[in-house]
Structure 1
Amino acid sequence: MQPILQAPQDMTTIIKNPRTQTPPVVFLKTHKTGSSTVQNLLFRMGERDRATFAFPHHSYQFSYPEKFRAKFVDELPDDSSQYDLLCSNMRLDVEQLKQVMPENAVYITILREPLRTFESVFSYYTSTVPSALSLFLESPDAFWDPKEPGNCLGRNPMSFDLGIDSQQWNTTWRTDLSLLEETFQLVMIAEHFDESLILLGSLLDLNMEELAYVRLNTRSLQDVTHLDDDTKDQISAWNTLDVLLYDFFLQIFLEKVEKYGLERLNSEVALLRATTNRIRRKCVARSGVYPEELEDLVRPWQTDTVTILGYQIQKNLTKPEQAFCTRLVLPELQYHAHLYFQQYGRDMRASSKHSPPRTVCVHPDMS
């Protein structure tokens, strides 16, 4: 079977001088935080650099919601090669990651304000809850059982992704946070996304064109729930670990901003936005496009509960421009499958290609 995109040769004008000094990268892709947009950026970087990806076996996730294990990684055709990039969905286990990735790997993740994170998680992964979000929050214990393996995103989803055991949190939280701080060179903050990209670019030596993006995996506005003050308080009370986690890393992020230099950062953010807007005008004909209007290649995967919007690229582009612009808007599942084919010379299993694995992280009555 042929890859879904043309081979890298069609990007020759884009990669005249590919970078060779980018360090290996581990990106912990958290749920509903803007992580798909960051992953796309890393996919593009890796493809340009001809990086070797650590991919799951014929799938899009590392056996989520199990914690990551080295054995989940598909072996490379050349046993002597090393992995350069790991950015598929997983639940964090640092020691297991160290068995796969080089010692000099840079660890990155992204967090989002917990109220909006939980609202988004709820809308994606709860299709048959017998109540609206506000009613669910009045008695969430009636739906959420921590002993059930399918409940991983039902409470403190970001903490869960980061491998934290919520049942032991009261006694281990200081140690957990310290270990996470030691592990991650950068924890991006979704509410300061462009600023986070500048820090990411500094860390990985990326230029403004490489940091340009469109927001992926966005919902239709009609699927976004308005949060009144009472609902916000209930979400905060239900997700206390995520609130603590976010506040902790927000403070670290602000310290990094101060160290980087606020004036310098603001100047580079302005340049990034100008570059991004220019590239978007060049590439994107329409944004916020409903799935039925999109061709298969650029149609995001749809859930049973929300509508995921996508992009149409401009017509009359040159071949290299079309290659670049397609990758800019390419949904994560299609891009993942394309890179997997490039690396292994074989397609992912047919059942994954058109029916991506659901994140089984809700109460059975909620799925």
Structure 2
Amino acid sequence: MPLCIILVWVLASTGLAKVDKDMRRKLMIASVGFSVFMSLLVVHFLGMPYTWLRFLRKSDLNDTDMPLTSTPSEEVIYPSQQLRHPAAHIAYIKTHKTGSSTIWSILVTYALENNLTIAIPATRQGNKLGWPKSFTPADAVPPKPDLLCYHSRFSSAMLDYMPEDTIYLSSVRDPATQLLSAYQYFGASSCFNMSFTEFLDRPSKTASFVGRCSEYYKWWLMNGQMYDLGLDTSLLSSTNPVDRSKVLDVILKLDRQLHMVLVLELLDESLIVMRDLLEWTTLDVVYFRKNFQLGTKVDVTYTESRKAQARKWNWADEMLYSHFRQKLETILSQRPEYYKIEVANLKALSDQWMSRCVRKVIPAALANNKYLKTGYEDNIGTYRLTSNGQHNNKCILLTMTEVAKIRLLNNGSSIDVKTFQGGTILDT
């Protein structure tokens, strides 16, 4: 309204107010409309997420005993804390071999640092909430937790179990590399007594899922990402138009139910989008890789044509992946320079914490602390901490293995320096 008064004064002072009554009325209406429009525009921008207000900086390193001088450690502070409302209710549908252990660790670290409750198995054992069956509230405790992130199979019951304002997340991966990773990680070659290439060449792959190889391998290797997200994939046929239509319907429904799906091939970009969605800071999404394989030899026979075979076999996963990758790329294309800068900042900050916490990457079998062991040590990497890292809670949360965290969470034990030091096997 002040703008409207100013316009009227200008009209009067310049002599334009002497125009006929009808013209004055039109000018007044126009000025009022313009004033209202500008007011709404200001309110809109002030109410937008904090990522549009990134102009003050602070250190992301919350310990002062070991200062770092590099500028990428800086992070956003906000003109008003009321403008930032970090999400505190999150459900992550943890799909297999999609970078999910790394994402799981990020979410659990945030929950522990912010005193959020985490859903654990009702049995207080293992890393699954009812999987491979669909999730039910009886699979987990406590009711209405802040975070659900153990392996579970998405179902409508999950929506009832979690608080109403829960943000739902998941992750996907190129089915070609996901299938290879699952085949190697779960030891399918030993169970099937055939190499990955032989498996791809087998005309009837479902014939492999018999005997001791039947229970889990069909869910890990046959459109496993779609299975984890709730679709029964065992009877699907890629040549049946009805089945393809059914898969598309499920994907579109997931698009409505999930607030975001991270893409492993664009993990850092995904984490920045997730950070903004959850209204977290960059420090909240700093990560070290989890459950990674050391010195994995690239299968020279895994050519593009072989990858096409894998995608054809897991065609429902391919439809799922293509949909959500395209959706993410659309988001990134809207602000390319912003995401480029933010990804660079995330990588630099992760590197700083890696230098601060980790002396070197080692085979898990050589870990000198039981909380840095994976429980399946063959070819899996872990970390040897620096002296300072062994006394820093953030370093411990960043490096402790998933299996160790799960065991402590299920037992109701704390995850901190004191607990970590109790796991020392030997000093090196």
Please classify the TM superposition score into its range, dividing by the shorter chain length.
0.7 to 0.9
* Equivalent in the alignment of 1:330: 400
Of 309, 316, 322 in structure 2, the residue corresponding to residue 247 of structure 1 is: 322
Q: Deviations over 1:185-216 (max 9, x none)?
A: 11111111110110111011221222111111
- Asked if residue 315 in structure 1 is aligned to residue 387 in structure 2, the reply is yes
Structure 1 residues 106 and 65 mapped into 2: Cα distance closer, same or farther (>3 Å)? same
- Asked if residue 201 in structure 1 is aligned to residue 268 in structure 2, the reply is no
Offset, 1:86: 0.3
Aligned residues of 2:137 and 2:158 also touching (Cα < 8 A): yes
Aligned residues of 1:223 and 1:307 also touching (Cα < 8 A): no
Structure 1 residues 318 and 114 mapped into 2: Cα distance closer, same or farther (>3 Å)? closer
Which deviates further from its counterpart, 280-289 or 38-47? 280-289
Is the partner of 1:310 in helix, strand or coil? Answer: strand
Aligned residues of 2:200 and 2:309 also touching (Cα < 8 A): yes
Offset, 1:230: 3.5
Provide the alpha-carbon RMSD of the alignment: 2.7
Is the partner of 1:218 in helix, strand or coil? Answer: coil
* Equivalent in the alignment of 1:237: 312
Aligned residues of 1:53 and 1:86 also touching (Cα < 8 A): yes
* Equivalent in the alignment of 1:47: 112
* Equivalent in the alignment of 1:340: 410
TM, length-normalised to structure 1: 0.81
* Equivalent in the alignment of 1:67: 134
Higher relative contact order (CA 8 A, sep 6+): 1
TM, length-normalised to structure 2: 0.70
Offset, 1:318: 7.3
Residue type of the alignment partner of 1:141: T
- Asked if residue 56 in structure 1 is aligned to residue 125 in structure 2, the reply is no
Is the partner of 2:361 in helix, strand or coil? Answer: strand
Is the partner of 2:194 in helix, strand or coil? Answer: coil
* Equivalent in the alignment of 2:12: none
* Equivalent in the alignment of 1:273: 347
* Equivalent in the alignment of 1:4: none
Structure 1 residues 158 and 197 mapped into 2: Cα distance closer, same or farther (>3 Å)? same
Residue type of the alignment partner of 1:285: R
In the alignment, the residues of structure 2 paired with residue 279 and residue 180 of structure 1 have an alpha-carbon distance, to the nearest angstrom, of 35
Of 219, 225, 246 in structure 2, the residue corresponding to residue 172 of structure 1 is: 246
Residue type of the alignment partner of 2:153: R
* Equivalent in the alignment of 2:149: 87
Q: State the structure with more CA Rg.
A: 2
In the alignment, the residues of structure 2 paired with residue 243 and residue 110 of structure 1 have an alpha-carbon distance, to the nearest angstrom, of 13
Structure 1 residues 343 and 298 mapped into 2: Cα distance closer, same or farther (>3 Å)? closer
Runs of 4+ off more than 3 Å: 18-21, 222-226, 316-319, 340-344
Q: Deviations over 1:315-346 (max 9, x none)?
A: 14473x2x2111101111211222333379xx
Query: Which residues in structure 2 correspond to 1:277-296 (within 5 Å)?
Result: 277-296=351-370
Structure 1 residues 265 and 241 mapped into 2: Cα distance closer, same or farther (>3 Å)? same
Offset, 1:228: 1.9
Of 174, 178, 201 in structure 2, the residue corresponding to residue 113 of structure 1 is: 174
In the alignment, the residues of structure 2 paired with residue 217 and residue 318 of structure 1 have an alpha-carbon distance, to the nearest angstrom, of 20
In the alignment, the residues of structure 2 paired with residue 318 and residue 149 of structure 1 have an alpha-carbon distance, to the nearest angstrom, of 40
Structure 1 residues 317 and 254 mapped into 2: Cα distance closer, same or farther (>3 Å)? closer
Offset, 1:32: 0.8
Is the partner of 1:188 in helix, strand or coil? Answer: strand
Q: Deviations over 1:246-267 (max 9, x none)?
A: 00111111122234x1111111
- Segments of 5+ residues of structure 2 without an aligned counterpart are 1-61, 65-80, 237-242, 415-428
In the alignment, the residues of structure 2 paired with residue 40 and residue 198 of structure 1 have an alpha-carbon distance, to the nearest angstrom, of 16
* Equivalent in the alignment of 1:22: 87
Count of paired positions: 321
* Equivalent in the alignment of 2:73: none
In the alignment, the residues of structure 2 paired with residue 63 and residue 89 of structure 1 have an alpha-carbon distance, to the nearest angstrom, of 8
* Equivalent in the alignment of 2:219: 152
- Segments of 5+ residues of structure 1 without an aligned counterpart are 1-11, 77-81, 345-367
Aligned residues of 1:144 and 1:154 also touching (Cα < 8 A): no
In the alignment, the residues of structure 2 paired with residue 90 and residue 275 of structure 1 have an alpha-carbon distance, to the nearest angstrom, of 31
In the alignment, the residues of structure 1 paired with residue 298 and residue 252 of structure 2 have an alpha-carbon distance, to the nearest angstrom, of 34
Residue type of the alignment partner of 2:281: N
Offset, 1:149: 4.7
* Equivalent in the alignment of 1:33: 98
Offset, 1:157: 1.3
Is the partner of 2:411 in helix, strand or coil? Answer: helix
Residue type of the alignment partner of 2:372: V
Aligned residues of 1:37 and 1:214 also touching (Cα < 8 A): yes
Aligned residues of 2:357 and 2:388 also touching (Cα < 8 A): no
